[in-house]
Amino acid sequence: MTPMRIKTAVFVFVLVFSIPAAAQQTVDYMVNWSANPEPDIQKYLIYRSSDPETGFAVIDSVDVPALSYIDSAREEGDVFYYRVAAKNTGGAVGLMSDNVSGLTIPDGADHATDDLCRISSFRKIENRVYNVTWVTQNPTIGFLLFDSDDEVLDLSSDWDDSEYQTTHTTRINDFESEGTYYFRAVSYDEDKNMVISSVDLLEVVDENTVPPSAVQDLAIYPVPYNPLSGQLTIDGVPVGGSVAIYNDSGLEVWRKNNSGSGSVLDWDGNNLRGSAVTSGIYYVVAKSENGEVFSRNPIMIVH
């Protein structure tokens, strides 16, 4: 048996998470590899470790001619490293492949982790057409996963794979309707290591509905809002409903569910990462308990 190294690649197979974030978010990874050319290969052994150098243990095996394996229910935020080795009919095991890794960044990750791969902006080009930009710490290629009001992001953009770079911009014109869309960026470096961004949200609206009139039972004060003056009060949110605040590019900066018994939610002017938002126009989007948008309100933030 030739001690041949098998080049592997990790690709996303399916993302399973809930919005808002569940207590434990999980993801499935697919590990792919090229075939060993020896005629007596019987199966491939799949190794996994949380350390890139040591601790690799066999987690499963697949019989020839399979060239992929799905590692199910990995927890978001943990980096997993994979290797593959071929085993022949005589029981001999070849050299393990090079490492590849898979990481899905959870919502609320620290700055250092979030900066590995994050969506940085949405720019509206025309009705239901946006340029989406994401950045990575290392040069990568990749694509976007997105969907509307869904727990599984099963729509994908074209690959941005012309060259490995740290900034990617992809045009999305597949929005079937107005509403809230959920996005992740999937990126691969030159060694096929994969990192998937945390979730960002885009509120898609047509020109004639930005911004619509507020419904009478939703009160927002004080406006203009200076975060140094205290909390922004949003009154009129039904129990089980939610409020999200978006910047003028459509990027969600804050979200809160009304899990109490009243109708008032307060915002301190910080984004989801705990940093103060900048001055400008923002939009307060309120949803009912069944997830329907019933109010979109523009507000001015000043410092």
- Full domain range(s) for residue 96: 8-104
Q: Quick one: 158 and 222 in the same domain?
A: no
Rg (CA), the chain: 23
Domain end marker among 87, 104, 121? 104
Average pLDDT over residues 153-172: 89
Residue 19 has pLDDT above 50, yes or no: no
- pLDDT, one tens digit per residue, over 249-260 is 788 899 999 887
Residue at which a domain ends, from 204, 229, 248: 204
pLDDT band at 111 (very low <50, low <70, confident <90, very high): confident
For the record, the structure tokens of 280 come out as 């400008």
Report the percentage of the chain scoring pLDDT > 70: 86
Q: What is the mean pLDDT of residues 92-101?
A: 88
**213 located within any domain:** no
89, pLDDT greater than 50:
yes
Q: Greater confidence, 200 or 43?
A: 43
Burial 278-297 (b: 16+ CB within 10 A, else e): eeeebbbbbbeeeeebbbbb
Q: Is 144 exposed, middle or buried (0-12, 13-18, 19+ CB in 10 A)?
A: buried
- CB 174: neighbour CB atoms within 10 A? 14
pLDDT of residue 150: 61
Report phi then psi at 273, rounded to 5. -95, 5
- Own/partner long-range contacts of 239-244 (Cβ < 8 Å, ≥24 apart): 239/263, 239/289, 240/288, 240/289, 241/286, 241/287, 241/288, 241/289, 242/20, 242/286, 242/287, 243/267, 243/284, 243/285, 243/286, 243/287, 244/180, 244/201, 244/203, 244/284, 244/285, 244/287
Residue 210 within any structural domain of the chain: no
Q: Are residues 115 and 100 in the same domain?
A: no
Share of the chain above pLDDT 90, in %: 29
pLDDT band per the 50, 70, 90 thresholds, residue 149: low
User: Mean pLDDT, to the nearest integer, of 229-247?
Assistant: 89
The label of the residue with tokens 């019989």 reads 63
Integer Cα distance of 134 and 4 in angstroms: 37
Instruction: Output the domain CATH number for residue 86.
Output: 2.60.40.10
At 31-62, the pLDDT tens digits run: 888 888 888 999 999 999 999 999 999 999 99
From 56, 79, 104, the end of a domain falls on 104
Please give the pLDDT value at position 151: 61
Per-residue pLDDT band for 135 (boundaries 50, 70, 90) equals very high
Query: What was the pLDDT predicted at 28?
Result: 81
| Sequence-ordered list of residues with C-beta below 8 angstroms from that of 205, at least 6 positions apart, any chain | 178, 296
- How many domains does the structure of the chain reveal? 3
Query: 53 CB contacts (<8 Å, ≥6 apart)?
Result: none
Which range has the worst mean pLDDT, 53-57, 108-112, 196-200, 264-268?
A: 108-112
Q: What integer pLDDT is reported at residue 175 of this predicted model?
A: 80
Return the SS3 of 125.
Answer: strand
